Chain A
Amino acid sequence: MIAASFDYSAPETLADALRVLSDDPEAKILAGGQSLIPIMKLRLSIPSQVVDLGGIIDLHAIAEEEGIIRIGSMTTHEQVEHSELLSEKCPLLVAAASGIGDVQVRNRGTIGGSVAHADPAADYPAALQALDAKVKVVSSAGEKIIPIDEFIVDALTTALEPDEIITEIHVPTESTGIGTAYETIVQPASGYAIVGVAARIGLSEGNISFARVGITGVGSKAYRALAVEKALEGQPAKDDTYGIASRVAAEGVEALEDLHASSEYRAHLATVFTCRAIAAAAGRAQ
């Protein structure tokens, strides 16, 4: 639990940071350090240098423009949790952020770091899937906007190139009439989700007119439960509907198995928490 030696830099501009990355392929970006530092201390990651993004002020902002909220990648979980803008216009993300780890982790961990790390049990990806979020990445060659589903490729694997930096996460402002909820059962030691389900439900005349369901923790990456969404749309908003639709929450997904939950139990929990998230979201849809 003692890291190997490494260099440290703290550039003040994005351009400087990108330069360090293209000069040193062994360099690693440091955001909140809540995932990187533990693996460095176990010497599972031995970067030549860490490039601390903390000093790049542009990466800390949350701003709304034409129905899109741009969240700077260095925004901490705590800042998302307590953002007035987000709690009014994207409460689902606030709910996901407030369930991450503990206060200390939320005070340091960032949304960019969480997305870049792509832990299959991380909370944000469920919400970002349900929100059809996009990830903005920048390199010296230019910038790209990548849908979250394409950005996270697999467990701990993303589409990010070593010389790229995530600068923003884009989420839509929530339409009126859509209710959202994030329901989770946590791994007792780490606080990560064993299963976390984010739901966005719209109602029209007692029927479900819009459904988005994102699920984390079950598979090797968070996914949208398209079969559940399909089973909901157009159906009457009542418990039976949610129960039946939720049965397919883990369909086609190879559920993970670890010390804390077997694949059978995880797949079962996916149905339970999907049902709960949908019911809660529908209850809030007005």
Chain B
Amino acid sequence: MATTTTPTTKGFVGKRVRRTEDPRLITGTATYVDDVTRPGMLYAAVLRSPYASARISSISIEKAASLPGVSAVYTGEDVKAVGPVPCAGSMPTLRVPHHKILAQDRVYYVGHPVAAVVAIDRYVAQDAVDQIEVEYEPTECVADPEKALESDAVRVHPEYDDNVAFTFHAEGGDTDAAFAAADVVVSERVTVPRLAPSPMETRGVVAEYDEGTEELLVYSSTQIPHLLKTQLAVQLSLPENHVRVIAPEVGGGFGSKCNVWAEEALTCFAAMDLKQPIKWIENRRESINVVAHGRGHVDHLEMAASKDGTITALRFKILQDIGGHHQLLTPIIPTLAVIMIPGLYKIKNFTADLTGVFTNLPPTDLYRGAGRPEATYVLERVVDKLADKLEMDPAELRLKNFPAADEFPFETATGLSYDSGDYAKAFNIALENVGYDSFLKKQEKARSKGRLLGLGISTYGEVCAFGPSPALPAGGWESATVRVEATGKVTVMSGASPHGQGGETAYSQLAADALGVPMEDVVVIHGDTGKVHWGVGTFGSRGTAIGGTAVHLALEDIVAKGKKYAAHILNASLDSIQFNQGIFSSNEVEEKLTFQELALEAAVAQKLPPDTEPGLSATRFFEPPNFAFPFGAHICTVEVDGDTGQVEILRYIAVDDIGNVINPMLVDGQLHGGVAQGLGPAFLEEVVFSEDGQLLTGTFMDYAIPKAKDMPWIESERTVTPSPVNPLGAKGVGEAGTIGSLPAFVNAVVDALSHMGVEHIDIPMTPQKVWNLINERSQS
């Protein structure tokens, strides 16, 4: 395993450097997919199924096709030759149903793409969509994952004998024996509703086919341009070196754009068919409807413990609502819940049984946190229940079960090796910051006056910085190229594909420090397969730990090669060359060489050192030896209004450890956004369908994403335990807040009502749900 070296903090690394991306983003000069225009560009729109389950008996396109301005109307028949939308799952029991880019003879969910129109503008395209006549024979549907598993449930896919998409079992230790020997057993069942990822920029594609070069140029709002390039080549039967994918500015993804979408291949197919550039921009309604929802779980966790509070075993059951078919990572996501179910606790025995179930609903897939928020939520609920049962302080119970700081790397029963940590330290700071003991006194007093105060604790562990290649379906490395121009300007090319996180800033900080150049001299290029030759993408909090490390390694190579040049030019021995703040020097000679002078020498190559090639450029791949494991503690205090059920967050304390920090400002932003996306489903957010699979929260007038005014002030602090798995010592921060926040809120509200006998409330904890409970309890 690599040894840890904390990055030097002589210049930019570790400082709150302002984002280099921001000037163009906030002045409206950035280019998103919808800003791309090409000569002769046409527009596509998609007709989607109004039924959750139906056979298509006929489609008549004549009316639509005859509208002035319509270039083409495509149905499933026309695009039959295009390969299926890929699913990367590989468990032996996995069923992968038919997933063509347009429905063939059946639709499986409301929103299923049925036909597409290409027209002169978006308005005509939409008019034509309305003119396509489809005759459906609606069939019975099932829109609830638990009902879908009942023996008499209708089958989403008649070709299978039930609705099970896959099963997955994992275990460690001897769970049955631990339960048999346990002093206490507690359990809870939680539902985690579907969430709409809702990036500010919806999906969008522009595709253009060059008949001369036979190159397909694709702009897509994606987190994974390189993987998309490969997949499009496969789906469209093109040589991969004839496909170029550009992810221009991407306005958020939260995992929803870490996917390969039917509409991507569809837009490309049409562009190749019509030999004209085509743009497709998803509207917000489509985004809420069909962009793979996150979560969609029914989870059950049983916990065994001894009297002294030692947690000994877990039995975990997950029901994952798959929807009508898989997307890229659908079956893989809930396995992340399985491996992280022990959280930060030393639990030696566990079994987990995961069942993926088809429903007549849109697909689910990754969304910020992906499996880990679900696991942490049910775990932290059950830990509170255990404390209650043992009449033990819930903070003390948690402290008792953490591994000590000197037990790392810590091997979990689920087969992971937690890289580094000091869990008690972060947790104790959080307790201290919230004033734990004094709050409990205040709560007692308030209760006696009828006020409902609560405090909720959540500790969380996260597996991220994906990750060692064997653990991922398509490689877990990242690549970077650093090119020094003849004038000494520095171009960094990364295979990661940041889409709002501030990766350009972080990589510029690394480059500026390593080469002793001003940050303005660094340009970071990413998200273009034509410019960056290799890449995996940005997801799973890997941008810094993996992407940043590749940049770091390439920078080291540049410095090493630079030293060879310097030794030769300065006429000094290689060992004596120092490189500091952009100056090459040696104690053997007076003369010095600036980085810029050296860059020119490397380009003109007049004084080429022996065994050295011209040019100052380096490409490196970083393959991590392990995941990284951030952790932390979030504590939330609330007051519940007994008359209305409304919950006010009084204080929100977050102590996170994400390893070494390149830019605290970027980290704060990630944590704040993460907390918001964890709190949203705690009390507001939920995708709701009717029993017949109709979406009831189809616009932002009904789907409640958290807004700034709904958010508490976040009192954030960090401990720093560098990760030993990469030379930057970085772990990852994209998902931490989302994982930690939800259980803290839920535990706080349950705590506020615990004296009434309330043990659990399902999320989202809307005022109505909370009031109903209070009302029931006060009447009984």
Q: Which residues of A contact B (CB under 8 A)?
A: 1-5, 38, 42-43, 185, 188-190, 259-262, 265, 268-269, 272
Q: Could you say which residues of chain B place their CB within 8 Å of the CB of A38?
A: 699, 701
Residue of B nearest to A261 (CB): B768
Inter-subunit contact B643/A272 (CB<8 Å): yes
Question: B127, A262: Cβ atoms under 8 Å?
Answer: no
Among A42, A43, A190, the residue within 8 A (CB) of B702 is A190
The distance in angstroms between the C-alpha atoms of A4 and B123, with both chains bound, is 7
Nearest chain A CB to B719's CB is how many angstroms away? Answer: 34
Q: Which residues of A contact B130 (CB under 8 A)?
A: 43
Nearest Cβ on chain B to A36's Cβ, whole angstroms: 14
Query: Using Cβ atoms and an 8 Å threshold, which residues of chain A touch B283?
Result: 1-2
Given A2-B123, A5-B123, A189-B700: A262 and B768 interface contact (C-beta under 8 Å): yes
Partner of A272, one of B644, B704, B705, B768: B644
Contact B771 A268, beta carbon cutoff 8 Å: yes
| Distance in angstroms between the alpha carbons of A3 and B124 in the assembled complex | 10
Option from A2, A42, A189, A268 in Cβ contact (under 8 Å) with B704: A189
List residues of chain B with CB within 8 A of the CB of A4. Answer: 123, 126-127
- A/B interface sample: 16 pairs, CB < 8 A: A1-B285, A2-B123, A4-B127, A5-B127, A38-B701, A42-B285, A185-B767, A190-B701, A190-B702, A259-B697, A260-B702, A260-B766, A265-B768, A265-B771, A265-B772, A269-B644
Which residue on A lies nearest to B706, using beta carbons? A188
Q: Which residue of A lies closest to B771 (CB)?
A: A265
Least Cβ distance of A8 to chain B in Å?
A: 14
CB closest chain-B residue, reference A188: B704
Complex CA–CA separation, A268 to B125 (angstroms): 47
B703 at interface by CB-CB < 8 Å: yes
In the bound complex, what is the Cα–Cα distance between A217 and B766 (angstroms)? 18
Q: How far is the CB of B681 from chain A (nearest CB, A)?
A: 12
Determine the chain B residues whose CB is within 8 A of the CB of A259 once the complex forms: 688, 696-697, 702
Encode B735-767 as 1/0 by CB contact (under 8 A) with A: 000000000000000000000000000000011
* B523–chain A nearest beta-carbon distance, Å: 36
B interface list, Cβ under 8 A from A = 45, 122-123, 125-127, 130, 283-285, 643-644, 646, 684, 688, 696-697, 699-705, 710, 766-768, 771-772, 775
| Chain B residues, CB < 8 A from A43 | 130
> Mostly helix, strand, loop or mixed at chain A's interface?
loop
Task: Chain B residues near A262: list those with CB within 8 A.
Answer: 768
- Residues of B within 8 Å of A5, CB to CB, are 123, 127
Q: How far is the CB of A213 from chain B (nearest CB, A)?
A: 18
Complex-state Cα separation, A232 to B706, whole angstroms: 39
B246 to chain A, nearest CB (A): 25
Chain B residues near A190 (CB, 8 Å)? 700-702
Q: In chain B, what residue has the closest Cβ to A192?
A: B701
Residues on the B chain within 8 Å of A189, using CB: 684, 697, 700-705
Q: Report A-chain residues with C-beta under 8 Å of the C-beta of B702.
A: 189-190, 259-260
Whether B701 contacts A185 by the Cβ 8 Å rule is no
Contact B768 A185 (CB under 8 A): no
Give the distance in Å from the alpha carbon of A269 to the alpha carbon of B644 in the complex: 7
Q: How far is the CB of B68 from chain A (nearest CB, A)?
A: 12
The residue in chain B whose Cβ has the minimal distance to the Cβ of A41 is B283
CB nearest to B710 among chain A residues: A188
Chain A positions within 8 Å of B688 at CB level: 259
CB distance from A250 to the nearest CB of B (A): 15
Selected from A3, A185, A188, the residue in CB contact (under 8 A) with B684 is A188
For the A-B complex with A2-B45, A185-B646, A259-B688 known, give 14 more contacts whose Cβ atoms are closer than 8 Å. Answer: A4-B126, A5-B123, A5-B127, A42-B285, A43-B130, A185-B767, A188-B766, A189-B701, A189-B703, A189-B704, A190-B700, A190-B702, A265-B772, A269-B644
CA gap between A2 and B684 in the complex, in Å: 28
Residues of A within 8 A of B699 (CB): 38, 42
Bound together, the chains give a CA A5 to CA B121 distance in angstroms of 12
Are B126 and A2 in contact, with the CB atoms below 8 A? Answer: yes
How distant is the Cα of A230 from the Cα of B83 in the complex, in angstroms? 72
Shortest Cβ distance from residue B530 to the other chain A in the assembled complex, whole angstroms: 32
Complex interface: chain A residues within 8 A of B285 (CB): 1, 42
| Shortest Cβ gap from B406 to chain A (Å) | 46
Q: How far is the CA of A43 from the CA of B123 in the complex (A)?
A: 12
CA distance A279 to B92 in the complex (A): 66
Most-contacted residue by chain A among B703, B766, B768 (CB, 10 A): B768
Q: How far is the CB of A156 from chain B (nearest CB, A)?
A: 14
Residues of the B chain whose Cβ atoms lie less than 8 Å from the Cβ of A185: 644, 646, 767
Do A2 and B122 touch across chains, with their CB atoms under 8 A apart? yes
Rounded to whole angstroms, the CA-CA distance of A270 and B125 in the bound complex is 46
CB distance from B706 to the nearest CB of A (A): 9
A265 to B644, CA, bound (A): 9
Cβ contacts under 8 Å, A265 to chain B: 768, 771-772
- In the bound complex, what is the Cα–Cα distance between A265 and B767 (angstroms)? 9
Closest 4 interchain pairs by CB?
A189-B704, A1-B283, A188-B704, A2-B126
Minimum Cβ distance to chain A for residue B8 (Å): 45
Q: Compute how far the CA of A4 lies from the CA of B127 in the bound complex, rounded to whole angstroms.
A: 7
A1 to B284, CA, bound (A): 8
List chain A residues, Cβ under 8 A from B126: 2, 4
Name the distance in Å between A153's Cβ and chain B's nearest Cβ. Answer: 23
Q: Which of A1, A3, A190: most chain B CB closer than 10 A?
A: A1
Q: How far is the CA of A4 from the CA of B129 in the complex (A)?
A: 12
Q: Which chain A residue has the least Cβ–Cβ distance from B702?
A: A189
**Chain A residues whose C-beta falls within 8 Å of the C-beta of B710 in the assembled complex:** 188
Chain A CB within 10 Å, residue with most, of B127, B130, B767: B767
Please name the residue on chain B nearest to A269 by beta carbon. Answer: B644
- Docked complex Cα distance between A262 and B769 (Å): 10
When distances are taken between beta carbons in the complex, the residues of chain A under 8 Å from B768 are 260-262, 265
Chain A residues positioned under 8 Å from B644 (CB to CB): 185, 269, 272
Bound complex: CA A189 to CA B703 (Å): 6
Complex Cα distance, B710 from A189, in Å, reads 11
Q: How far is the CB of B122 from chain A (nearest CB, A)?
A: 6
How far is B643's CA from A38's CA once the two chains are assembled, in angstroms?
34
Bound-state Cα–Cα, A262 to B766, Å: 12
Complexed CA–CA distance, A5 and B646 (Å): 43
Query: In the assembled complex, how far is the CB of residue A256 from the closest CB belonging to chain B, in whole angstroms?
Result: 13
Nearest neighbor of B125 in chain A, beta-carbon distance: A2
Distance A237 CA – B180 CA, assembled complex (angstroms):
65
Contacts of B684 in A (CB 8 A): 188-189
Please measure, in the bound complex, the distance between the C-alpha atom of A268 and the C-alpha atom of B644, giving whole angstroms.
8
Smallest CB separation, A85 vs chain B (Å): 28
Q: Which residue of A42, A188, A261, A269 has the most chain B CB atoms within 10 A of its CB atom? A: A188
Cβ of B284 to closest chain A Cβ, rounded Å:
6
Chain B residues contacting A2 (CB-CB under 8 Å) are: 45, 122-123, 125-126, 283
When C-beta atoms are compared, the residue in chain A nearest to B684 turns out to be A188
Report how far A268 CA is from B643 CA in the complex, Å.
Answer: 9
How many whole Å from A77's CB to the nearest CB in chain B? Answer: 17
Shortest B69–chain A CB gap in Å is 11
For B122, the chain A residues whose CB sits under 8 A away are 2
- State A3–B127 Cα separation when bound (angstroms): 9
Across the two chains, which residue of chain B brings its CB closest to A276? B643
Q: Inside 8 A of A1's CB, which chain B residues have their CB?
A: 283-285
- Least Cβ distance of A88 to chain B in Å? 28
Q: Please, how many angstroms separate the alpha-carbon atoms of A43 and B704 in the complex?
A: 23
Closest chain A residue to B643 by CB distance? A272
Cα distance, A260 to B696, chains bound together (Å): 11
Q: State in angstroms the CA–CA spacing of A2 and B280 once bound together.
A: 13
A225 to B767, CA, bound (A): 24
Chain A hits for B772, CB < 8 A: 265
Distance in Å from the Cβ of B749 to the closest Cβ of chain A?
Answer: 16
B703 neighbours in A (Cβ, 8 Å): 189
> A5 CA to B122 CA in the complex, in Å?
11
Bound Cα distance A1, B701 (Å): 14
Complex: A265 Cα to B699 Cα, angstroms: 24
CB distance from A185 to the nearest CB of B (A): 6
Contacts of A3 in B (CB 8 A): 123
CB closest residue in chain A, given B124: A5
- Which residue on chain B has the smallest CB distance to residue A185? B644
Q: How far is the CB of A214 from chain B (nearest CB, A)?
A: 20
